[in-house]
Amino acid sequence: MALSDPKALRLYLVTDPVLCGERGVYETCRQALAAGVRTIQLRDKDASTRSLIRQSLRLASLCRQHGALLIINDRVDVALASEAGGVHLGQDDMPVGTARKILGPAAVIGASVRSREEARRAEARGADYLAANLVFATDTKQDIEGPLGMEGVGELRRASELPLIAIGGIKPSNTAEVLKAGADGIAVVSAIMAADDVEAAVEQFRRIVG
């Protein structure tokens, strides 16, 4: 397993260039890392390949300074070019097994899943962690069917022993609930990226996830 410290997934930040506004992705990530985030996923579906590589190189350097993990959303080629820690794949992206062959055994590979079958398949093909995709309804994910809720999180927890993070509408007010349902960590987008005070937002989550 390439993921040396599953605790790095306890609080996982997913970037959004729109939500962070003029502050920008890099500065938002810098503040979040300083406050204790230990995994960042670079997600920018509208960026060119050149822009993604440029961003990922800067973020990879920043993450190394903080002993944190940088994951690239979808793009195995960008992860390779930037020497990021790994890649996160959806069900319509490159198959986990193919990505593992390309990136090698040291890369961290995450997979978004919504069913027991998807979870078991991702684990069998070499994923290091799973993401319960869309736990609560959210504006940042509008191309997915209805939310999984706590029952869905619990079902995914029972399907695999891999670390499981919850994503989709995660806020301080529901974090304890998803952890109790079986998630090992949370992936946060708007509650940190759009926060007026990034460090305060991170600290609020850290008090809950430990």
Q: Is 141 a catalytic residue?
A: yes
If you classify domain 6-209 with CATH, what class do you get? alpha beta
Closest CA to 133 of 143, 121, 123: 143
In the chain, where the domains are located = 6-209
Q: Is 45 a catalytic residue?
A: no
Q: Which of 116, 120, 141, 171 is catalytic?
A: 141
Question: Band of the pLDDT at 210, cuts 50, 70, 90?
Answer: confident
Q: Which of 30, 43, 114, 121 is catalytic?
A: 43
Lowest mean pLDDT among 22-26, 90-94, 111-115, 140-144: 140-144
pLDDT tens column, 88-104 = 999 999 999 999 999 99
The answer to whether residues 59 and 26 touch, using CB atoms and an 8 Å cutoff, is yes
Q: Which of 112, 121, 157, 160 is catalytic?
A: 112
Percent pLDDT > 90 in the chain is: 90
Counting other chains too, the contacts that 80-84 makes at CB distance below 8 Å and 24 or more residues apart are: 81/53, 81/56, 82/53, 82/56, 82/57, 84/42, 84/56, 84/59, 84/60
Q: Is 4 a catalytic residue?
A: no
